[in-house]
Amino acid sequence: MEKKIIVITGASSGIGAAVVRILGPQGHSLVLGARREKELKQVAAASGTKALPVVMDVTVRKDVNNLCDAAIKEFGHIDVWINNAGRGILKPVLDLTDEDIDAMIKVNLKSVVYGMQAVIPHFQQRGQGHLINISSFLGRVPMVTFRSIYSAAKAAVNSLTANLRVDLKAKYPGIHVSLVMPSLVATEFAANSLGTAPIVDAAAPQAQNVDEVAAIIAGLLENPVAEIFTSPISADIAQLYYQDVAAFEENFKR
């Protein structure tokens, strides 16, 4: 595969770091963004490739723009941008505060918009590029009520990603826009979530291995698709949900 210049947000741990472990040994050049400097530099140092760590906060538009500028300054251009950073919350709808809502929208939705608006003009100038937005299965099927505003923010990511893809398709056929929807993944994501509702055990049998999810994301570089679920059963569940929402909610056991 042709070696690419790839930007990854939320790269200091979890899915982002797992993607680095796959793409680094393949010889791609990486630009890694995250808030935690120590962890980010460790991931970059262990990547096995040329990796530029950039300490930044995806909820700050200036930081996201600076990440884009740093990548172009270091490598000349960007081939792939992966909006991966995000955070969960464990609160049902009626318990949400203004602060909860604002925090989830900033980190899960506005950060994605900032990334799209930073890199897509660069892709348009080049006539090519690949944007990959990491969303969640809960953005398609809101089946875990204590992740209410997280699910809502990810649903908005799904919608904006589809809208962008349609906007670009006719004039910029060389720009790919992909949406990835993981289900439960064995990372520290749940432990780092805000709120105090029950935490889903990341070691539960239904949890996907983070490296398996990362491999699916990495595979998009060679075979871009519009949308992909990382769990084999997610598409079937989503189909059942949209066939009859009321029946699904009645029968679903949390």
Catalytic residue IDs: 150
* Secondary structure of residue 46 in the 3-state scheme: coil
Handedness of CA 95, 15, 32, 55 (dihedral sign): positive
**Position of tokens 């941008």?**
81
Select from 193, 188, 115 the least CA-distant residue to 150. 193
The structure tokens listed for 99 are 């602060």
Cα distance between residue 247 and residue 244, in whole Å: 5
What is the DSSP-derived secondary structure letter of residue 108? I
Backbone angles phi, psi at 8, to 5 degrees: -130, 125
Q: How far apart (Å, rounded) are the C-alpha atoms in residues 13 and 213?
A: 14
Write down the residue that tokens 């004039």 correspond to.
171
